[in-house]
Structures are given as structure tokens and as C-alpha cells.
A and B are shown apart, each in its own frame.
Chain A
Amino acid sequence: TQLLEQSPQFLSIQEGENLTVYCNSSSVFSSLQWYRQEPGEGPVLLVTVVTGGEVKKLKRLTFQFGDARKDSSLHITAAQPGDTGLYLCAGSSNNAGNMLTFGGGTRLMVKP
């Protein structure tokens, strides 16, 4: 069974601070996705990374896929209250079909 562990589970910071969220596994994934979910809504896809070592940037968000494709990180620069939400990583692997395995999520609160 593939597992994805996210850390930290909860994070409360002040506006303007930087933060990093981690997503780790002992399994290799062929791709990894980051989602953001608001209360009462479905997850919204932020980014997909597929190549080991890949780095993608989305405005103030930087996503990195580990060289061995077992881990990923999400770094937010100068966090804003609008970044508040639940961040989920999800991985897929070739031997698990198209099923996504989700991490437990990191609940971020950015205080003004």
C-alpha cells in the first residue's frame, strides 16, 4: 500500500512569512499533484510534477519533486491571508493505474 505523509498537519503564520509543506513517501510515484481545498468545496489542482528534480513556480508558490520521485515540497513566499486553506498532495504510480493516493493534508492559516 502506498502512503503519502504530509507535514506539518497544521500551520498558523503571520502574513508576509514564508513556509514550506512537505509530502513524503517510501514509494516511488510517476507523478505528483498538489491541490488546495476550501471548506465545502472540492480540491483544486495547483500543479502536476512528473520528472525527478522538477521545479515549478506558480506566482509565490514553488513546487519541487524529489530526485527519487518519493517526495515533494511546496514553498510559499510572503504568505497572504488568501493562501489560507487545506493543501493536499496526491501521487499516482504506473502500477496503480490512474488511482490517486492522497496525503492527509496541511491546514494553513495565514493571519493578517
Chain B
Amino acid sequence: NAGVMQNPRHLVRRRGQEARLRCSPMKGHSHVYWYRQLPEEGLKFMVYLQKENIIDESGMPKERFSAEFPKEGPSILRIQQVVRGDSAAYFCASSPVGQGYEQYFGPGTRLTVT
């Protein structure tokens, strides 16, 4: 059973470009979460999605960041007009229905903004 998949693993963007991070949840999981880990800081919750619905986006910056989880295909975290402060590791997690606390993480996407 494949785990949570994220791509790309590494992404380099220049300031002002857009970054698109993809996440495919574990088979049978319909809940997806995005977390950010800044250098030398802990993991911070960003957003929680179910298919075609954003359930909780309380941790996501109000500007330039958006997330979606379409009916078909992976969840996507989009960062527009990236700045150096966006450089971080972005992790996606998924959980089965009814066990939202039991979250399984992907390997992460390391975003570097130059």
C-alpha cells in the first residue's frame, strides 16, 4: 500500500514566480492536510481539505497561498509570487475517515526561493 506521495521533492523558484506542490493521499484516505516546517522551527498546520472542500484554512497565510483537493487528482498547494520567507519544507498528510488525528505524512517538498 503506497504511502502519501508528494512531488516535486525539491523545488527552486525565483522571487515572484509561482510554486505548485502536489500531494496524493494514501489509498483509502479522503482527508488531506498541509503543514509547513520553516528552518529551525516546528511543524505548523496550514490547511485541512476533503474532496472539493476546504474544511479549515486557519493556518494558511491570507495572501498568495491557496489549496485545493479536486474530485479527481492530487491536492495542490499553490504559492503565488513567492518570497524568500516562503523557503521551507512543506509536508502533506492524509488520514482515514473518522480518524483525523491519525495522520500519515509524505516525504515533503523542499521549496527554495532564490
- For the complex, what is the distance from the CA of A101 to the CA of B45, rounded to whole Å? 7
Contact A33 B102 (CB under 8 A): yes
Residues on A with beta carbons closer than 8 Å to the beta carbon of B105? 35, 42-45
Contact B55 A31 (CB under 8 A): no
Within 8 A of B (CB), among A72-94: 88, 90, 92
B104 to chain A, nearest CB (A): 6
Contact A102 B103 (CB under 8 A): no
A59 to chain B, nearest CB (A): 20
Residues on B with beta carbons closer than 8 Å to the beta carbon of A99? 33, 45, 48, 56, 58-59
Cβ of B43 under 8 Å from chain A: yes
Contact B101 A31 (CB under 8 A): yes
Residues on A with beta carbons closer than 8 Å to the beta carbon of B84? none
A62 to chain B, nearest CB (A): 20
Known: A99-B48, A99-B56, A99-B58. A48 touches B108 (CB 8 A): no
- For the complex, what is the distance from the CA of A105 to the CA of B42, rounded to whole Å? 7
Residues on B with beta carbons closer than 8 Å to the beta carbon of A97? 48, 55-56, 100
- For the complex, what is the distance from the CA of A71 to the CA of B91, rounded to whole Å? 25
A7 to chain B, nearest CB (A): 14
Within 8 A of A (CB), among B14-66: 31, 33, 35, 42-45, 48, 55-56, 58-59
Known: A42-B91, A104-B42. A48 touches B102 (CB 8 A): yes
A43 to chain B, nearest CB (A): 5
- A sample of 6 more A-B contacts (CB under 8 A), given A99-B48, A100-B45, A105-B42, is A31-B102, A42-B105, A45-B103, A45-B104, A92-B100, A100-B33
14 examples of A-B residue contacts, CB within 8 angstroms: A31-B101, A33-B101, A41-B108, A42-B6, A42-B91, A42-B105, A42-B106, A48-B102, A97-B48, A97-B56, A98-B55, A98-B56, A102-B43, A105-B42
CB within 8 Å of A: which residues of B? Answer: 4, 6, 31, 33, 35, 42-45, 48, 55-56, 58-59, 91, 93, 95, 100-108, 110
